[in-house]
Structure 1
Amino acid sequence: MEPDEMEPEEIAEALADVAGTVVRSLVDRRGMSFTTASTLGRLEREGPARLTALAVAEGVAQPSMTQLVQRLENQGLATRVSDPGDGRVTLVAITEAGREVLAERRRERNARLVRRLAALSEDERRDLSSAMRIALPLVRRIVDESAGPGGHQDDSA
């Protein structure tokens, strides 16, 4: 092993540390909880879903997801729709207003990150850029391969 290589446990710890640090520093807590934003993002990416499936995917109890969806409906960010495959089933879907809120949050998050990156030297930005080009596809592959049936992660913590 090369002197600068890390053991798998060290890589795992570093990835978790980077992810946690970035999420904590970039999350805008002013108007929406992480679970709320994550649920809206899931609906945007994956389309309408059953409330029970959303609760499982987001790792919350069904009564909590029911309350969250009711708040999203009251805010006009989500709506309930009939399942085209089974009219007896109700699905939760993101609204156009929900999509707009997510897009604005992403723009603001990216602007905050760009401002923070500006504090780095040119060499540091180049190093980070190189690291991201290498790490991002690998991390995506690891995450995709670790997803179990239905796209849910096998692990939680």
Structure 2
Amino acid sequence: MTVDVDRLTTVIEDFNTIFIRLPSVRRFNFSTLSVLHTLQRGGPMRLTDLLKTEQLKQPALTSLVAKLEQDGLLERRPDPRDGRAMLLSLTREGRDVVDSRHANRVARLTDLVDRLTDDERAALAGSMPVLSRLTALAADDA
């Protein structure tokens, strides 16, 4: 079976446009949310490791991290493997931001999914393993 990758790309882009704009309790810019979500999923990491996942230059990311630390959303701790380096991790408030946004998106997406037909829901459920595999392949490439 041939996959129309151009159409798939458009569909994913359109879905992402809607998904990232689902209403949430607190508003943050994309870079802030990306850093918070990366630290939530990836655990404590060095700034240099965070640079690999974010689409920011080091001065901009350093400034953003300082602001998030000042806002109480993340903290720096010495890296136990290298006392000269610092690990960045979410504070309880930072985890709460990510968790509340996730819960809000689940609720909003549930409302939309409930409006699909049974066949559409089955197709959507069947696509999740494939999308997870694509995500894993992309992570391996990075």
TM-score normalised by structure 1 residue count: 0.77
Q: Secondary structure at the match of 1:147?
A: helix
1:40–1:98 contact (8 Å) kept in structure 2: yes
What 5-or-longer segments of structure 1 have no aligned partner? 153-157
Q: Which residue type is aligned with residue 48 of structure 1?
A: P
Which is higher, the Rg of structure 1 or of structure 2? 1
TM-score normalised by structure 2 residue count: 0.84
**1:19-38, aligned counterparts within 5 Å?**
19-23=16-20, 25-26=21-22, 28=24, 31-38=27-34
Decide which of 93, 99, 106 is 2:95's aligned counterpart.
Answer: 99
1:113 offset after TM fit, Å? 2.8
What 5-or-longer segments of structure 2 have no aligned partner? none
Q: Deviations over 1:37-95 (max 9, x none)?
A: 12111111111111122122111111111111111111111001111111111111111
Percent of aligned positions that are identical: 33
CA distance in 2, matches of 1:53, 1:6: 34
- The CA RMSD measured in Å over matched residues stands at 2.3
Decide which of 122, 133, 136 is 2:125's aligned counterpart.
Answer: 133
Q: Secondary structure at the match of 2:44?
A: coil
How many residue pairs end up in the alignment? 142
Higher normalized contact order (CA 8 Å, seq sep 6+, divided by chain length): 2
**Corresponding residue of 1:81:** 77
CA distance in 2, matches of 1:148, 1:117: 30
Q: Secondary structure at the match of 1:49?
A: coil
CA distance in 2, matches of 1:95, 1:34: 19
CA distance in 1, matches of 2:4, 2:94: 42
**Corresponding residue of 1:54:** 50
1:27 offset after TM fit, Å? 5.8
1:55–1:61 contact (8 Å) kept in structure 2: yes
1:29 offset after TM fit, Å? 8.9
Q: Deviations over 1:76-130 (max 9, x none)?
A: 1100111111111111111111111211122222233334445x2xxx2423321
